[in-house]
Amino acid sequence: MSLLDRDSTRAASAQQHPRRKTTLRFLRTAPFPVVFWLLLSGHFDPLLLALGAVSVAVVCWLTRRAGLDHQSVTLSFALRLPRYFLWLSGQVLVSTYTVVRKVWSPRPALRPVVESTPAAHLPELSQVVYANSITLTPGTLSLDVEADHIEVHSLERSGVHELREGRMLSRVRQTEARR
């Protein structure tokens, strides 16, 4: 089952909830886009505030429609995220260097492979973080996210082997908040 399928089933079940719960969820989703809008605009005249209110409402509606309103990022997760980002940036730079060398070499040594790397028992959020990190590092690309593994297209077999060693996976596990 892919992530998208799961989302649509969630959306279907979310619509069966009573109205009171909907309001509660709306109140839980709304603060983030509100703060985000104020931070980005920095203007407080009525027109822009009204436009902001409209876009926050649209965002909340879209979040609900996509069945994502049960997701909320906990504070401890947000606090651990910068450290993970720093580590990931280092990885991105290292693997960028290898791919850059391939691009400029007269005869690029390409041996593309598609293999799967285990990703069992990951919470939904970690799964997204892991798959996105794989794609973000040049040289590896997540093709398919399944319940217990991720299909990876890599320019070289060594790219998948590095993932299988699991350093990135354990970092992701550490970053995920224990609720």
Which stretches of the chain bind other proteins, using CB under 8 A?
Answer: 2, 36, 39-40, 42, 85, 89, 92-93, 96, 99-100, 102-104, 108, 110-112, 114, 131-139, 141-145, 153, 155
Minimum CB distance to other proteins, residue 3 (Å)? 10
Minimum CB distance to other proteins, residue 145 (Å)? 8
* Backbone dihedral angles phi then psi of residue 142, each to the nearest 5 degrees: -85, 125
Kindly tell me which of 4 and 16 has the beta carbon lying closer to other proteins: 4
Kindly tell me which of 18 and 42 has the beta carbon lying closer to other proteins: 42
Kindly tell me which of 64 and 84 has the beta carbon lying closer to other proteins: 84
CA angle, residues 90, 95, 101, in degrees to nearest 5? 135
Kindly tell me which of 52 and 138 has the beta carbon lying closer to other proteins: 138
How many whole angstroms separate alpha carbon 7 and alpha carbon 69? 11
How many whole angstroms separate alpha carbon 26 and alpha carbon 124? 21
Tell me how far the alpha carbon of residue 111 is from its chain's centroid.
Answer: 28
Minimum CB distance to other proteins, residue 58 (Å)? 17
Minimum CB distance to other proteins, residue 142 (Å)? 5
Kindly tell me which of 27 and 143 has the beta carbon lying closer to other proteins: 143
Minimum CB distance to other proteins, residue 141 (Å)? 6
